[in-house]
Amino acid sequence: WGGAIAWHLAQKFPEYLNRLAILNAAHPQKLIQELAGNVDQIRRSWYILAFQVPGIPEWLIQQNLREFIKGIFQGQAIRKSAFTTEITQIYQAALEKPGALVAAINHYRQFLLPQNWLKNFNPKPEKVTAPTLILWGKEDYFLSQKLTEGLDKLIAAPFWLKVIPDCGHWIQQEVPHTVNRELLNFFGKK
């Protein structure tokens, strides 16, 4: 969700950042376009549609939160060892807090609100003007690598796309040393 916030900040308030780094987060306009016409991305994003039903997703997830967390993180990771029992318990404890699960699901609900859908389907979105680094796990279960194509039409600044092999959606957990090295290098550039 941090990536969605970062893309938004870069488009709406470019004066507040010098550089933008994105870790496996689709550009919102690109994601909407893919959801409108790419069967593979629709299949990968089925949960966004399922989360639109009020109350039921929260109830179903709460019935077996531990297995849900294990499946969503460890189950979808390429490098399974990144999500130990101790780590998944931290995520579980966070989502057990009152209102946390609803807030997490509401992120996906707002994404498909008609006014947001139309805004994000804008054929001429505001371009990102900050130098941008995108780190992308090649084996991402949730987001197709097709979402990284055509970014030159959305970013009016130098940008670098680094696809990390043998890595899934949770790139910062699966390859933290690689992510840290790339971020330090990117933010250290003059």
pLDDT greater than 90 at residue 92: yes
pLDDT at residue 170, rounded to an integer: 95
Q: 120 pLDDT band (50/70/90 cuts)?
A: low
Number of C-beta neighbours around residue 16 at 10 A: 9
Tens of pLDDT, residues 6-55: 999 999 999 999 999 999 999 988 888 888 888 999 999 998 889 999 89
Taking alpha carbons only, the member of 148, 152, 159, 150 closest to residue 19 is 159
Are 7 and 111 a contacting pair, CB within 8 Å?
no
Within the chain, strands assigned E span 20-23, 132-137, 159-164
Q: What pTM was computed for the model? A: 0.89
pLDDT at residue 187, rounded to an integer: 95
Domains of the chain (ranges; CATH) run: 2-188 (3.40.50.1820)
pLDDT at residue 123, rounded to an integer: 63
Going 34 to 38 to 41 to 43, the CA torsion angle's sign is positive
Are 149 and 163 a contacting pair, CB within 8 Å?
no
